Amino acid sequence: MSDGEFMLIGYLLISAPAFVELYDLLPEFLPS
């Protein structure tokens, strides 16, 4: 795998877990 490919996958691995964390977090802020 090339350096460029590694770099781009690295960025994907920043955004994807952040999305999951925020996705799980959101219901905590919704009014019950």
Partner 1 sequence: MFRQVLLHRAIGLFEGALRAAVDENPYSMVLNIRGHFETTASLGYLCRRLQSLKNGHITAETVDRNLCAQLLATRVESIREVPEPINILSALEHADIALNISVLGASPRQRDILKSSYEYLCEFCHPNFIRTPLLSISINPFQSLDSAMDNL
* Interface positions with partner 1 (CB under 8 A): 2-5, 7-9, 11-12, 14-16, 18-19, 21-23, 25-26, 28-30
- The distance of closest approach from Cβ of residue 28 to partner 1 in the complex, given in angstroms and rounded to an integer, is 8
**What DSSP assignment string belongs to 15-32?**
HHHHHHHHHHHHHHHS--
The single-letter DSSP state of residue 11 is H
- The distance of closest approach from Cβ of residue 9 to partner 1 in the complex, given in angstroms and rounded to an integer, is 7
- The distance of closest approach from Cβ of residue 24 to partner 1 in the complex, given in angstroms and rounded to an integer, is 9
CA atoms of 16 and 4, how far apart (whole Å)? 18
